[in-house]
Amino acid sequence: MVRYKDLSNLISSSGITMQIKCGSGLRQFVRKASTIQNIDYANRSLKLPDGAVVFSLIQPTGKFHLGNYLGAVRVWTELSEDAPAGGKCIFGTADLHAITIPKPDGNAFRQMRHEAIASLLAVGIDPTKSILFHQSQVPEHAELCWYLSTLTSMGALNRMTQWKTKANIKDTSSEKVGAVKLGLFTYPVLQAADVLLYKSTHIPVGEDQVQQLELTRQLAQAFNSTYKTRYFREPTTLLTPTRKVLSLQNPLKKMSKSDANQNSCICVTDEPDAIRRKIRSAVTDSIGHEFKYDPEGRPGVSNLINIVAGIQKKTIAAVEADIAGFKDHATFKNYVTDILVAELRGPREEFARYMNDKSYIYEVERNGAERAGAIAAKTLAEVRAIMGY
């Protein structure tokens, strides 16, 4: 049984009503859109129904950073360890999505793809219990994307926020819109194809993916309506419990490995000395006699508290109680550092072990692609038949 500490976090921030089977009854939760997601690790659990198909992909940026770890892949590990009877867990790299931002160095991109698989293995995802593969290894993703694109309106895509964020566009009447690449603009259609290709039922993601998954549900409805079928099921969004991990140097933006200041980001593979240096230099504030969670007033301190809460799977209030006696920033930062060093020791050592055995990574990728491809081929054959091909 997967431990989820706040079932309200599993509900789409778009305000969609979803039903989740929990304990002995069926309860409904509705969550309104919010710019702040509070961590609440209450003692609750989620049991996925038998036959559930859990699916998610992650950008192959190489070694994972703390945001990837707490916001996505650790939850994947928990889900794969407690996979429902008759169900599947399908995880991998979104390496077709990755090239919406051009990757001109093929060798570097290839290395990042392998490092991403090694990172998934290092955090505990067992390839005998889950399917691990690269999206590009299964050509059916692109074919289904084309079919779904014929059902997708320009208006729906224009409302998506991700392409605007990546293209740094705030006003769609701006001349910058004309320079946006088609692949970036239609990114959500490929994401819908990724999900529907495996008849996925549950998608664990962060809040920034909620809008795209609502489009996925709309496209599933559109296909079924157009071809008078009930072929595609509408998947459920599972919002991961930990809120965004922010930059250590600028706690007003997300943590990112592409940040020019490398002290802003902690990678899962960082050595203890690097972690100590980065936490020691993390931006906090001038209040040294108490440490409280206040994202607006004290974003730097709040980010570190959020990180500790995510690692320890505790509530913010519980972390605040643990650090209530701290009287200076040095004590607080040493506390955060010790927790991080202990948590990341295992994944760091496992990552190094896997990267020293490239043949095993290739085997995992190949086997995963074969298993994913078999599912995808069956789906595409059925979709073609429905469409008249």
Length of the chain equals 389
Catalytic residue, candidates 166, 176, 292, 313: 166
Q: What is the DSSP pairing of strand 53-58 with strand 236-239? A: unpaired
State yes or no: is 313 an active-site residue. no
314 is catalytic: no
**Would you call 271 helix, strand, or coil by DSSP?**
coil
The residue from 47, 103, 176, 257 that is catalytic is 257
User: Which SS3 state, helix, strand or coil, does residue 40 take?
Assistant: coil
DSSP letters spanning 301-361: HHHHHHHHHHHHT--HHHHHHHTTT--SHHHHHHHHHHHHHHHHHHHHHHHHHHHT-HHHH
Tell me how many degrees the CA angle 167-250-274 measures, rounded to the nearest 5: 110
Residue 294 forms beta bridges with which residues? 298
CB half-sphere exposure, 294, CA atoms < 13 A = 8
**Rounded distance, CA 39 to CA 195, Å?**
27
Helix (H) or strand (E) holding 298: none
Give which of 301, 238, 218, 257 is closest to 3, Cα–Cα: 238
Catalytic residue among 47, 103, 176, 254: 254
Backbone angles phi, psi at 378, to 5 degrees: -65, -45
CB 269 within 8 A of CB 63: yes
Question: What tokens were used for 246?
Answer: 């922010």
* Residue 327 annotated among the catalytic residues of the structure: no
Measured distance between the N- and C-terminal CA atoms of the chain, rounded to whole angstroms: 42
Of the candidates 125, 11, 37, 15, the residue with the CA atom closest to the CA atom of residue 310: 37
Q: Count of alpha carbons within 13 Å of 253, Cβ hemisphere only?
A: 10
Known catalytic residues?
166, 254, 257
